[in-house]
Amino acid sequence: MKAITPLAALLFSAAPAFAQNDNTTDNAPLDDWFGDPLIVTPSGFAERAYETPYLIDVVGEDEIRDYGIRSVPEALKYTPGVLVQRTSHGQGSPFIRGFTGYRNVFLIDGVRLNNSIFRSGPNQYWNTIDPFSIERLEVIKGPASVVYGSDAVGGTVNAITLSPYGYSDSNNLAGRARARYASNERSIGGRFELSPTFNIDGKQLGILIGGSVSDFGDLQGGSDIGRQNGTSYGQYAADVKAEYFLSDNSRLLFAHQRIRQNNVPRTHSTVQGISFAGTTVGTDLQRDLDQERELTYVQLHTEDIEGGPFSAFKVGLSWQNTNQAQDRIRGNGDLEFDTLRVQTLGFFAQAQSEVSDSLTLTYGIDYYRDQVDTFGSDSGSAPTTFVQGQFGDDATYDLLGIYLQGDFDLTERLSLVLGGRWNYSAADADRVNNPAIPGSDPTNPADIIAVSDSWNAFVGSARLTYEIEPEELLVFGGVSQGFRAPNLSDLTGNISSNATDIEIASPGLEPEYYTALEIGFKGQGENYGWQASYYYTFIEDQIVRFGTGVPNEFTRGNIGDGYVNGIELDGTWKPTDATTLFANAFWQLGEVDAIPVAGGPIVAEYIERNPPITVNFGARYDLPDYPLWVYGIVTFADDADFVTSRDGRDTQRVPPGGTPSYTTVNLGMGWEIAPNATLTFTLENITDEDYRVHGSGVNGAGFGAIVGLDLKF
């Protein structure tokens, strides 16, 4: 077994869609990029990563295990073009090509995690995916709204979850147990799973049942920061997946997932926060979040169909339920309590048709409907129940899209992917706090308004690949559009943000539009693989916060025009069979219009949380004739000093003038102590450096050991 490198973006070996895996199959050796993996996210169907006109990054379960990764957002930390901001120890939000929150799409087995209450800034929802349940993460960077609709602006991440394994000619029972311990966060967690499989009259039925429990203690920072009190929380998750093979090329899937996080603190806003490089300490006595999410879906996947209108198709029906509750005790002792429930019904159908040897059509329809209920109260000196919680109460939100995309082989070496999408969005909220009236009395009709609006959007994409040297070097590029329809967070939000800011409802907004130009290269050979890209994204009508004139009160408007551009580099080289060297780097800079002073002029500012130049270097050595490997990774992040007026107000998370540079060094090893048992050991941040990822509310982990054990049977 070989672990995946940070460059598994290119390197992950995805099994064919209907491979009936056994529990001894490794995810991917380091050099599987050279074998050209299959991925499903760009079009929805399996295709060669090398041939796609995108920069592809994939993180596999072995990488998550071997590097001691503790959450899904942090699994992306070695991916070029991604900044993983952490508001708290239990809340992570990747910035992908300059965008975070509701401007990136997260999918779970093709089902949208995004819903209508996602915020513009960092949010906690990507952290509600159990990392123990992930087979791989596929990352597509840049606008992908043709296939995935609203929100697919900075990037699209698809979490492919574990499937049943251990198939044989007879009934069988396989299983797996995993454990993880980290000294610098005093955490321990693990997962146990069983996978019974059955041969029913020559047809296979597999079931996977798993459960995870993790207890995260207070996070230890670097040498000067030390223990960061008030950062601990607990988490448990359970899941079941069943797949029945109707034929060799068709399977029926059922899955249910549930995860709960208890008392996740937003430490930076409390008195237990720490000052780093001049940041201020919060005044709240407590600010904890309970988070619970359930997803249930049924899907039918079919491929390699002969003699019909479709060569492959997928259809799925899903139900997702998200609940959260926030307890906040302000410095004056007032208790604020708010709850949120979002129930989402989803449906999608995708198909492919091989029209000719040189033309493949991919097309589909998807529909999602949210039902949102919120509650808010304040039990201070004058106990109050509010009109709404953080978002409009008794609300619905609809997303409907239809798309068509063609893959044309124009010549033997030149291919064109051309597509378009129509999207319809509608928001209705019956109980919204009137932004024109400071009161929030649910019994006073003047304090309540209804918000109702709808939008149509049309977007397209045209991307080319040209093989300069067949199977060795290609150039890709083109233009892709993205859009984002206003959601309930924009229209009805009544949200506390930064240290003192309050956002109010903003009816009458219009969709945002983005147009990205990109050119890149991919190369591969017997002992190397690399990719590079330059992108420039035009921003039009972005919804931006600005002051109303009332102290610390903000509304929103479509005033944001601007751009973001960047360079990403990624490569792997194997000078010997036992030695692998890898590196990646990215640079990014952007500006967007803002109104820094209430009532003042529109001016161009840097995009929020503009990431610093970041470089990862690594090496791995596999001992010949021994099931043992060692590795090291060095990460360098430059000063993050391109700050905005909003960054300047966020004094608890962004130091004055920006976040200082840092360098971290991790060393690790892995050992197959038996054919089905793997022990991993990582020394994290061996220099014990004090550092903070730009925009985060907690510092990164100091020196510590992470130990993992993976047992299969």
Q: Where are the beta strands (DSSP E) in 150-186?
A: 155-161, 172-182
So what's the pLDDT on residue 305?
Answer: 87
Residues 301-341 have pLDDT tens digits of 999 888 889 999 999 999 999 999 999 998 988 898 999 99
pLDDT-derived band of residue 2, with 50, 70 and 90 as boundaries?
Answer: very low
Residues 50-92 have pLDDT tens digits of 889 999 899 999 999 999 999 999 999 999 999 999 989 998 9
Q: How far apart are CA 231 and CA 15, in angstroms?
A: 38
pLDDT-derived band of residue 381, with 50, 70 and 90 as boundaries?
Answer: low
pLDDT at 7 over 90: no
Angle (nearest 5°) at CA 68 between 66 and 73: 115
**Residue 500 in contact with residue 537, Cβ under 8 Å?**
no
pLDDT-derived band of residue 11, with 50, 70 and 90 as boundaries?
Answer: very low
Within 301-378, where are the H helices? none
**In a domain? residue 37:** no
- Long-range contacts made by residues 381-388, C-beta under 8 angstroms, separation at least 24? 381/334, 384/440, 384/441, 385/442, 386/433, 386/440, 386/442, 386/494, 387/431, 387/432, 387/433, 387/434, 387/440, 387/441, 387/442, 387/447, 387/448, 388/431, 388/432, 388/433, 388/440, 388/492, 388/494
Q: For the chain, count helices (H), then strands (E).
A: 5, 37
Choose among 699, 703, 700: nearest CA to 687. Answer: 703
So what's the pLDDT on residue 38?
Answer: 80
**Residue 134 in contact with residue 510, Cβ under 8 Å?**
no
Residues 245-299 have pLDDT tens digits of 999 899 999 999 999 999 999 999 999 999 999 999 999 999 999 999 999 999 9
Residues 483-492 have pLDDT tens digits of 999 999 999 9
pLDDT at 203 over 80: yes
Quote the percentage of the chain above a pLDDT of 70.
94
Residues 673-713 have pLDDT tens digits of 999 999 999 999 999 999 999 999 999 999 999 999 999 99
Angle (nearest 5°) at CA 359 between 357 and 365: 135
So what's the pLDDT on residue 443?
Answer: 83
**In a domain? residue 43:** no
Rg of the chain over all Cα atoms, to the nearest angstrom: 25
So what's the pLDDT on residue 123?
Answer: 86
- Residues 6 or more apart in contact with residue 242 via CB below 8 angstroms: 164, 205, 206, 207, 208, 253, 254, 255
Q: How far apart are CA 569 and CA 314, in angstroms?
A: 34
Domain assignment of residue 477, given as a range: 179-712
pLDDT at 12 over 60: no
Query: 394 vs 493, which has greater pLDDT?
Result: 394
Query: How many folded domains does the chain comprise?
Result: 1
So what's the pLDDT on residue 246?
Answer: 95
If you average pLDDT over residues 448-465, what whole number do you get? Answer: 97
What integer best gives the mean pLDDT of the chain? 91
Query: 376 vs 662, which has greater pLDDT?
Result: 662
So what's the pLDDT on residue 6?
Answer: 36
Q: 127 φ, ψ to 5°?
A: -80, -5
pLDDT at 518 over 70: yes
**In a domain? residue 386:** yes
So what's the pLDDT on residue 499?
Answer: 56
pLDDT at 20 over 80: no
Check which CATH number belongs to the domain holding 446 and give it.
Answer: 2.40.170.20
**In a domain? residue 136:** no
The CA–CA distances, whole Å, from 252 to 209, 314, 377 equal: 17, 10, 45
**In a domain? residue 498:** yes
pLDDT at 152 over 90: yes
Angle (nearest 5°) at CA 154 between 149 and 159: 70
Quote the percentage of the chain above a pLDDT of 90.
80
If you average pLDDT over residues 491-514, what whole number do you get? Answer: 85
Of 44-58, 150-164, 204-218, 553-567, least confident by mean pLDDT is 44-58
Instruction: Report the 10 Å Cβ neighbour count for 90.
Output: 29
Tokens describing residue 308: 């019909």
Tokens describing residue 120: 């513009």
pLDDT at 382 over 80: no
Instruction: Report the 10 Å Cβ neighbour count for 695.
Output: 25
Residues 554-607 have pLDDT tens digits of 999 999 999 999 999 999 999 999 999 999 999 999 999 999 999 999 999 999
**In a domain? residue 4:** no
**In a domain? residue 328:** yes
Q: How far apart are CA 426 and CA 487, in angstroms?
A: 9
CB burial class (10 A; 0-12, 13-18, 19+) of residue 383? exposed
Q: Where are the beta strands (DSSP E) in 31-128?
A: 38-39, 47-48, 56-60, 82-88, 91-96, 104-108, 111-112
**In a domain? residue 69:** no
